[in-house]
Structure 1
């Protein structure tokens, strides 16, 4: 059974290398903030993803995370027969959905994958596809349970005719995590292995992506000889994603799951179907009634606000000010009328079909972050 903890306490991890390091409130807030940065980066003017994200990450107090990759997901919400309708034209395309970053935290390298949730009309259209489909285990070549069709399509679809859709979000994140772990552990096989850990975080739809990508990252690392690297998923307000077999597959891969929910948030409790189950080795339950300020029940801002709320009697509003709300769902006609823009890249270069930081620049950035 999942372990429930109130917001004021800590959640103690068990197994897979995390047992000695309880998840403190500060850790959850950091990962929540990093997911919030995904929303803000997606909303960047002129699609200046790289510069926007770098500026946001520089604001993390305890350590400096370096962005290593930008992740795009191809959204195909419109049936082929309806693509010609003006109101729906232009929705099928790759969207910026998240990023990978790394920081030195003590003697450990912390690799973080952060996924945003639904922020466009196309995203919302994918959310409603709740039929269960097989979740393919790439490492074993079999099926690791079943998951919601809409979530799975966001994770796995690609479009070879578009610049950022040549490889799926799944391929991008798995390749990047494996690349980073392999890079950091190069040359250390003869001695003590460098300590590395992976945390995959997301809000709402991003929480669904976090669970699927945490499973696949753990599978890829095990196949590459890095089964000792702990992989954890942290979800905020995530809906139910899959069936009992999918939950079992996550456990079989050793993925620790921390599920953060607001008691009044309906999304984590949405009826998806009789075979859907909750996933979470540990559950943090937040209570909106303890806050003197009212925010939208499912917004990430509410989650961050409640996680920083220590004593409602002495609460001061400068503890956490909302940074952003997710952009409102788009209007199909407006989307159709916008000219496609090309993101501006500085240090990122394309490799294996996605934008990432070259090894030399990565080592330089991490060296600078320690100064």
Structure 2
């Protein structure tokens, strides 16, 4: 048996970050911000404008197709240019979630958002989006730890951290370009010590709600549902904000797009499930995520499909994080297929609650087929910046990377 097939205890949901940051930016070796190859303000604006000015009429007329109503049939191979622009656009919302996070463990504001809601996107060099952040989201660790941990340094003791935000499109021109009012929820990846500990809790647990045997990774669910005396759970924050948005805008064309990278991808899946099981009048819910780990079992996947959640899973074949945690019961790769193992091993895997299932429609890319990235290390395969560059250059399975593609944000 290949030990690497299980991958149940090593769950590095973000790749090394501070290697690209100066020492003054963070004294804690957080892996979460690996994607941030920060560029100039002018370059960021040009990048955003390029994404939003391409094929606007086509997007407005067919926005439900680009939100996945037909599971992106005919749009992924070859990759449709409008869909490419939309994926990159949502990727920049995730970039903002990384950029706004305070990684400086020596700072009294470690783990918080560095900017106000009104300035968040502009301070992250994303201007003229037409979106306004309306809610900050926090995630709380639910692991019971010894009391001495709370007396330790902030990078160890911080239990609740800013994890992302909700933004509502409020510009009339952008609403017209999109064909509807869009609400975006963006989640960053792992950033704190306790978030890493939650990531390692790879066994499955009951997700609650409609039941039906749906189970998800224990640590992810803990980060989404845990709260403490001073901070409500991410689940409560998401529900309250979506309820408020539906009350205000529920009578007009509306979409909800949830996006994230790494750990943020897992939280995006949980938030989508939660919204569709909590609101009978929910708008179309679409998840577009990058480099996400597995989240739940086959029953959980069935529940997502039954409640109409549309998921676009963007995967780098060379990214190890997309292959963990646990086993997949229906994967074509026999080295990680529980059904291909000896029966006694399969029983042990099932008893240990380690049988997972991939979700959604997949857009599969490869760093090895990109001339800019083929010689990069394993860690870089998981970076959000790598994913955005791969999306920018991908043409089709017959032409994996266009030679004229440049770097997206660098």
- 3-state DSSP of counterpart to 2:208: strand
**2:146 paired residue among 67, 80, 85:** 80
- 3-state DSSP of counterpart to 1:117: coil
Following the alignment from structure 2 to structure 1, what is the Cα–Cα distance between the partners of residues 158 and 288?
29
| Equivalent residues in 2 for 1:1-371, closer than 5 Å | 15=69, 24-43=83-102, 47-50=113-116, 52-56=119-123, 59-60=126-127, 63-77=129-143, 79-80=145-146, 83=149, 86=152, 91-103=157-169, 104-106=174-176, 107-137=179-209, 140=210, 142=211, 145-160=214-229, 162=230, 165=231, 167-185=232-250, 193-222=251-280, 226-227=281-282, 229-273=283-327, 274-280=354-360, 282-294=361-373, 296-309=380-393, 312-317=402-407, 319-321=408-410
Shift of 1:76: 3.8
- 3-state DSSP of counterpart to 2:409: coil
Contact between 1:76 and 1:92, CA under 8 Å: does it hold in 2?
A: no
C-alpha distance 102-14 of structure 1, shift in aligned 2 (>3 A): closer
Following the alignment from structure 1 to structure 2, what is the Cα–Cα distance between the partners of residues 20 and 313?
23
With structure 1 as the length reference, what TM-score do the two structures score? Answer: 0.71
> Aligned pair count?
291
Shift of 1:302: 0.5
- 3-state DSSP of counterpart to 2:256: strand
Q: Deviations over 1:289-326 (max 9, x none)?
A: 23232351111110011111255422334x431xxxxx
* Structure 1, gaps ≥5 residues long: 1-9, 186-192, 322-371
C-alpha distance 37-75 of structure 1, shift in aligned 2 (>3 A): same
Following the alignment from structure 2 to structure 1, what is the Cα–Cα distance between the partners of residues 308 and 392?
29
Following the alignment from structure 1 to structure 2, what is the Cα–Cα distance between the partners of residues 89 and 78?
17
- 3-state DSSP of counterpart to 1:42: coil
Shift of 1:56: 4.5
- Please identify which structure carries the higher strand content: 1
Between 212-221 and 167-176, report the one with greater CA deviation.
Answer: 212-221
* Structure 2, gaps ≥5 residues long: 1-58, 60-64, 328-353, 395-400
Q: Over the residues paired in the alignment, what is the CA RMSD in angstroms?
A: 3.0
Following the alignment from structure 1 to structure 2, what is the Cα–Cα distance between the partners of residues 315 and 17?
26
Following the alignment from structure 1 to structure 2, what is the Cα–Cα distance between the partners of residues 159 and 308?
41
- 3-state DSSP of counterpart to 1:98: strand
Following the alignment from structure 1 to structure 2, what is the Cα–Cα distance between the partners of residues 268 and 202?
13
Following the alignment from structure 2 to structure 1, what is the Cα–Cα distance between the partners of residues 370 and 70?
35
Following the alignment from structure 2 to structure 1, what is the Cα–Cα distance between the partners of residues 142 and 158?
5
- Please identify which structure carries the higher helix content: 2
Q: Deviations over 1:130-182 (max 9, x none)?
A: 11111011xx5x4661111110110010001x3xx1x1101101211121021
With structure 2 as the length reference, what TM-score do the two structures score? Answer: 0.64
Higher relative contact order (CA 8 A, sep 6+): 1
Shift of 1:220: 2.5
Following the alignment from structure 1 to structure 2, what is the Cα–Cα distance between the partners of residues 69 and 12?
25
